[in-house]
Amino acid sequence: MELRGKRVLITGASRGIGESLAHNFAGAGARVALVARSRDSLESLAVELGGTVHPADLSDSTQVSGLIRRVEDDGGPIDVLVNNAGIESTACFTDAPEDELRRVTDVNYLAPAELCRQAIPGMLRRGGGHIVNVSSLSGIVLFPGLVSYSASKAALSHFTAGLRTDFRGLPIGTTLVELGPIPTDLLAKIDNYEPTAKSFQRAYRWGVAVDTPRERVAEEVVKAVLKGRRHVRLPKRSAPLAMLAEAPRRIAEIILTGVPHQAKS
C-alpha cells in the first residue's frame, strides 16, 4: 500500500512503540490519527506530526463504541488501522486484582477486534485498507505470571488470522506483529513478580530473548504495510517459534483453497 496521503489511526500512540509508529508513518507521508487515554500526552506529538488527537480509554467499551466514526468525522477516512495499545498483567493469576482479567482482555483483544469491526466496512467501500495488530510472542510462549496477558495476545494473533480467512480475496491487508521484549515501560513491569523476572533472566542468558529497540519495530511495521507483508516477527531469532504456531493456520488455508470465503449477497 502506498502510504503518502493515507490516514493511519494508531492506538496507544502517546509513548513507546506507538509514538515511534506515529513518527515512522508520518515520515512515510501518511496523516496520523493518534489515540490514547490522555489528550495532554498526545497534543505535542500531534503538533509535531500534523496529526489529530482522539482521547479514548480502550478499557471502556462505551468509549470504544463509535470510535472509528468519531475519528473519521474529524479528519477523514481511515486507510490503515494500527491496534498497538496494550497493557500488562504480571502476577499469579489468582492473586491479580478482581477486574484485571477483564481489563487486560478488553484492551489487548476486545478493543482491537471491535475497532476492526468498525473500520473494515468503510475500507471495503473505498476499495481497500490495511489492519496492523500488535501482538506478542507471549501469545505462543508462556512464562509464569503472564497468564492473562499471554491469553489476550494469543486471542489477538488468532483473530488476525481469522480476519485474513474471512476477507480472503478482498482488498483488506493484515499484518500481525509478534514481538519479544521491547525496552518500554511495559517491559519494566516484569520485575513486579519474581517468577516472571527470573524467567526473562533465563531467556536472556540462553539467548532466546533479546531486546529490540522500539524504533526498529516501527520501521519494520511501516515496511510491512508498504509491501503488504502478513507478519513482522522480532527478534528475528524467535521467528521459527511463531512460524510453528502459524503452521496449522497456513495448512488450513491450503486445504480451503477454492472454497468461497464470503457469502453471496
Instruction: Please spell the DSSP secondary structure of 192-216, one letter per residue.
Output: GSHHHHHHHHHHHHTTS-----HHH
CA torsion sign for 135, 139, 145, 147 is positive
Q: Which residues does 198 contact at the CB level (< 8 Å), separation at least 6?
A: none
Is 149 a catalytic site residue?
yes
Dihedral of the CA atoms 211, 215, 217, 223 (nearest 10)?
Answer: -150
Q: Which of 109, 149, 193, 204 is catalytic?
A: 149
* Helix axis angle, 239-255 to 147-166, nearest 10°: 40
Inter-residue contact 25 to 51 (CB < 8 Å): no
Catalytic sites, residue numbers: 149
